[in-house]
Amino acid sequence: MSLQTVSLASLQQQIDAVSRPGQPVRLLAVSKLQPAAAIAALAAQGQRAFGENYVQEAAAKIQELAALALEWHLIGHLQSNKAEVAARSFHWVQTVDRPKLVEALARHRPPALPPLNVLIQVNIDDEDSKHGCQPAQVPALAEAIAAHARLRLRGLMAIPAPFPERDRRQAAFTRMRGLFDALAARHAHVDTLSMGMSSDFAEAIAAGSTMVRVGTALFGQRPTP
């Protein structure tokens, strides 16, 4: 798809058009570096779930927009020393990739809040520049998450390499779907496969994605940090 900005309604129509019957795909609006006013404007159009990359930036916006009762996802790399703030602020953390982070999130999730929804980030194309666990590490990490009552394992997340060849991109999505199906067979709460962004969400949905992360198509090019 073109990376020009589209309306929320138009984007949702595009997502629905490529989704399989009876298998709705959730839209996560990627709002990193966007002002609270832009998020509030999109929320006024009906968008409820927003993805942020930076814990401190997000925490301020979450507090500012608390009255809107939005759903907040952390989709950026999480350092262990930021785990306490993340565990208290977000509804979902999509980038869990190591046991140390599992322990920190479980320890800091307040008992008064529902369990923190967790996705395991997989480095599906084994890129040095990206975070995420190796595919072979998924089962053990899933067991570690499932052992904590304050966490709820919901599935997997990936950012495949942006190969120019469609078949190479599709192969990564297909591998992720295989990992997801295996995980869902072992863990009852697994229902979310987060993959696909502004430029490739249709391909990701065709492979079985249940959540796409779109920022540029909704907000335009991000402001410079």
pLDDT digits (tens, 9 = 90+) for 146-190: 999 999 999 999 999 988 899 999 999 999 999 999 999 999 999
Measured distance CA(119)–CA(111) in Å, rounded = 20
Domain 8-219 class, CATH top level: alpha beta
3-class state of residue 16 by DSSP: helix
The fraction of the chain above a pLDDT of 90, given in percent, is 87
* Bridge partners of residue 73, in order along the sequence: 51, 92
pLDDT of 6 reads 84
pLDDT for position 220: 79
pLDDT, residue 2, reads 42
Using pLDDT thresholds of 50, 70 and 90, give the confidence band for residue 37: very high
pLDDT of 52 > 70? The answer is yes
* Average confidence (pLDDT) over 3-21: 88
Mean pLDDT score, 109-138: 96
> Which residue type does 195 have?
M
Pairwise CA distance, residues 26 & 210, whole Å: 6
